[in-house]
Amino acid sequence: MNDTSRTYDVVVIGAGPVGENVADRTRAAGLSTVIVEKELLGGECSFWACEPSKALLRPVLARADARRVPGLKNAVGGPLDVPAVFAHRDDMVNHWHDEDQVEWLNSVSVDLVRGHGRLDGPRQVVVTTPEGGTVRLDARHAVAVCTGTRTALPDLPHLDDIRHWTNREATGADAVPRRLAVVGGGVVAVEMATAWRALGSEVTMLVRGDCLLTRMEPFAGEMVAETLREDGVDLRFGVSVTSVAREEGPDGAVRIGLSDGGQLDVDEILFATGRTPQTDDIGLETVGLTPGGWLSVDDTFRVTALEDGWLYAVGDVNHRALMTHQGKYQARIAGPVIGARAHGEPVDTQRWGPHIATADSAAVPQVVFTDPEVASVGLTAREAENAGTRVKVVDHDFRGVAGAHQYAEGYRGKARMVIDLDRGTVVGVTFVGPGIAELLYSATVVVAGEVPVERLWHAVPAFPTISEVWLRLLEAHRG
Ligand SMILES: Cc1cc2nc3c(=O)[nH]c(=O)nc-3n(C[C@H](O)[C@H](O)[C@H](O)COP(=O)(O)OP(=O)(O)OC[C@H]3O[C@@H](n4cnc5c(N)ncnc54)[C@H](O)[C@@H]3O)c2cc1C
């Protein structure tokens, strides 16, 4: 391919869910936009994270729920149909093809350049194409970095030689390892341990700390740990991996050395040990920034380290909230911000205004698709207290919630509402229990809407639904 040069109003690097949405919104703001992608349009989320992981987990959680329904238990007592689960997963990721996304991009009139994009000085991006050519893209108004993250791997000798798993293999594998070690205790670790245990692996979780899901209310991790153990997962806390080696041959086992002096032999080892930003090879040094770190931004997604404000960072790469829905929310803010600035229009950054991502700090929702499900939004009690808020914590265990007991025999769940006593609003909600994921939007509306807690008394949950837990929480609050 010959070297070419083009000028656009906006250049977006990275066509994951966030980059796609930034491009869509800047186009909608009347700005010519090009997006650069080195792998598949749709990014990690569509092909190696959210979509395939939830496709693997859906039958697992549906079966767990069904087993708690009298009259159904025996009908779903058997193992999962593993090939059918994998086939469903493959369909959900469109067999790792992105032509649907290309079609959508065309429909919103965003241009695509395939290849590796790097900044090459202010407002300039150079793309190395798969054919070995280069395309130079000049941005009149803004460059948005939406390059996402990859697995953060521990610094262990020989790690590259052992064919370890990251989220990519954990969501894409089409054979069930007999023995799987999962290193980590966060969301990816618990979800993948749940999936692969149900698919038939003997799973050992190696967790450095003393609990799971440390960023959530403590009871969330405790309840997930309880079920994982009941399901046969060997859950080890306070242990880290000190060495890894794989035996020779295609079926060679991995021998894991542990910080407690023990060792563990497995067929596969998954590192679910956090995420690192993909900023090490995007030319940050050409604009005076240090490669490899997270890109800190202001509430309008401008990279704070650059003064003249043409560089934006949206989605995982800015480290504000590493979730697809939150990154897409950021894109829905950043696109109009870039548009307003390009057109010389005012930018409204008042709290909850159209050009500021207030929810990033006040109302980030998250679901963990384990058994039981965990759903949370806003602040934990500890986070609210640390922020200096005078809080009241209201807990309920789903006793007397008829809908929950209709949903599952012996329903086990817990709900927490964190109230800001001075403002009389709810600043955080956590639900743990089967079937609670769909309750989360109600909590998100309550937190983002800053609905007075007294007004919630008039928001009547239908009988008999799991939502009646709201009523029980309010009754507990009122005493
Ligand atoms: C196992 C797992 C499960 C998850 N499940 C959920 C879930 O259920 N719900 C949820 O909300 N979140 C989930 N997440 C998080 C979610 O995947 C991320 O928050 C989301 O993918 C971030 O989107 P992004 O567009 O910022 O980055 P990415 O999806 O990582 O996309 C970045 C894109 O940029 C491209 N790129 C990078 N560098 C360059 C370059 N130099 N030139 C050109 N292109 C480049 C990449 O190829 C990629 O396509 C999960 C994550 C994991 C690991």
pLDDT digits (tens, 9 = 90+) for 431-452: 999 999 999 999 999 999 999 9
Tell how far the Cα of 80 is from the centroid of ligand 1, in angstroms: 29
Q: Tell me the pLDDT band of 1, cut-offs 50, 70 and 90.
A: very low
What percentage of residues in the chain have a pLDDT greater than 70? 100
Tell how far the Cα of 359 is from the centroid of ligand 1, in angstroms: 20
Q: State residue 308's pLDDT score.
A: 85
Q: Residue 157 and residue 135: Cα distance in Å, rounded?
A: 38
Instruction: Tell whether ligand 1 has an atom less than 6 A from the beta carbon of residue 325.
Output: yes
- In ligand 1, the atom with minimum distance to the C-alpha of 323 is 19
Q: Residue 185 and residue 214: Cα distance in Å, rounded?
A: 8
The tokens for 452 are 């007075």
Question: Chain-wide mean pLDDT for the chain?
Answer: 97
Q: What is the CA radius of gyration of the chain?
A: 24
Tell how far the Cα of 47 is from the centroid of ligand 1, in angstroms: 9
Q: State residue 191's pLDDT score.
A: 98
- In ligand 1, the atom with minimum distance to the C-alpha of 324 is 11
Instruction: Tell whether ligand 1 has an atom less than 6 A from the beta carbon of residue 53.
Output: yes
Question: Do residues 357 and 299 touch, judged by C-beta distance below 8 A?
Answer: yes
Query: 22-55 burial, b for 16+ CB within 10 Å, e for fewer?
Result: bbbbbbebebbbbbbbbbbbbbbbbbbbbbbbbb
CATH number of 372-478: 3.30.390.30
Tell how far the Cα of 287 is from the centroid of ligand 1, in angstroms: 24
Instruction: Tell whether ligand 1 has an atom less than 6 A from the beta carbon of residue 52.
Output: no
Q: What is the pLDDT of residues 15-63, one digit of tens each?
A: 999 999 999 999 999 999 999 999 999 999 999 999 999 999 999 999 9
Q: Residue 307 and residue 309: Cα distance in Å, rounded?
A: 6
Q: What is the pLDDT of residues 6-18, one digit of tens each?
A: 999 999 999 999 9
Q: What is the pLDDT of residues 94-130, one digit of tens each?
A: 999 999 999 999 999 999 999 999 999 999 999 999 9
Q: What is the pLDDT of residues 322-379, one digit of tens each?
A: 999 999 999 999 999 999 999 999 999 999 999 999 999 999 999 999 999 999 999 9
Mean pLDDT of 224-228: 98
Q: What is the pLDDT of residues 379-436, one digit of tens each?
A: 999 999 999 999 999 999 999 999 999 999 999 999 999 999 999 999 999 999 999 9
Tell how far the Cα of 346 is from the centroid of ligand 1, in angstroms: 31
Ligand 1 site-directed mutation target among 105, 165, 323, 374, most atoms within 8 Å of CB: 323
Identical fold for domains 5-42+98-150+277-359 and 372-478, yes or no, is: no
Question: Do residues 217 and 195 touch, judged by C-beta distance below 8 A?
Answer: no
Question: Do residues 258 and 264 touch, judged by C-beta distance below 8 A?
Answer: yes
Looking at CATH, the fold of the domain delimited by 159-274 is given as FAD/NAD(P)-binding domain (3.50.50)
The answer for residues whose C-beta is within 8 angstroms of residue 338's C-beta and 6 or more apart is 10, 22, 26, 29, 31, 141, 142, 144, 312
Helical (H) or strand (E) element with 419: strand 414-420
User: Residue 319: helix, strand or coil by DSSP?
Assistant: coil
> Could you tell me the residue ranges of all domains in the chain?
5-42+98-150+277-359, 159-274, 372-478
Helical (H) or strand (E) element with 6: strand 4-13
Question: Do residues 245 and 221 touch, judged by C-beta distance below 8 A?
Answer: no
Task: Identify which of 31, 410, 401, 383 has the alpha carbon closest to the alpha carbon of residue 218.
Answer: 383
Instruction: Tell whether ligand 1 has an atom less than 6 A from the beta carbon of residue 322.
Output: yes
What percentage of residues in the chain have a pLDDT greater than 90? 97
Q: Residue 16 and residue 324: Cα distance in Å, rounded?
A: 9
The tokens for 67 are 């087993």
Q: Is the pLDDT of residue 2 over 90?
A: no
- In ligand 1, the atom with minimum distance to the C-alpha of 115 is 43
Q: Residue 249 and residue 267: Cα distance in Å, rounded?
A: 12
Task: Identify which of 8, 327, 25 has the alpha carbon closest to the alpha carbon of residue 147.
Answer: 327
Q: Is the pLDDT of residue 217 over 60?
A: yes
Query: Cα separations (Å) of 93 from 15, 55, 217, 284?
Result: 16, 9, 32, 32
Instruction: Tell whether ligand 1 has an atom less than 6 A from the beta carbon of residue 151.
Output: no
Q: Is the pLDDT of residue 314 over 50?
A: yes
Q: Residue 182 and residue 194: Cα distance in Å, rounded?
A: 10
Helix axes of 187-199 and 218-230: crossing angle, nearest 10 degrees:
20
Q: Which CATH architecture has domain 5-42+98-150+277-359?
A: 3-Layer(bba) Sandwich (3.50)
- In ligand 1, the atom with minimum distance to the C-alpha of 14 is 34
Instruction: Tell whether ligand 1 has an atom less than 6 A from the beta carbon of residue 43.
Output: yes
**Residue tagged 């929702």 (tokens):** 365
Q: Please, how many CA atoms are within 13 Å of residue 456, restricted to the half-sphere of its CB?
A: 26
Going by alpha carbons, the residue nearest to atom 21 of ligand 1 is 45
Instruction: Tell whether ligand 1 has an atom less than 6 A from the beta carbon of residue 167.
Output: yes
Q: What is the pLDDT of residues 230-275, one digit of tens each?
A: 999 999 999 999 999 999 988 899 999 999 999 999 999 999 999 9
Tell how far the Cα of 45 is from the centroid of ligand 1, in angstroms: 5
Going by alpha carbons, the residue nearest to atom 12 of ligand 1 is 323
Tell how far the Cα of 458 is from the centroid of ligand 1, in angstroms: 40
Q: What phi and psi values does residue 240 have, to the nearest 5 degrees?
A: -130, 165
Question: Do residues 413 and 420 touch, judged by C-beta distance below 8 A?
Answer: no
User: Residue 125: helix, strand or coil by DSSP?
Assistant: strand
Going by alpha carbons, the residue nearest to atom 5 of ligand 1 is 50
Q: State residue 459's pLDDT score.
A: 97
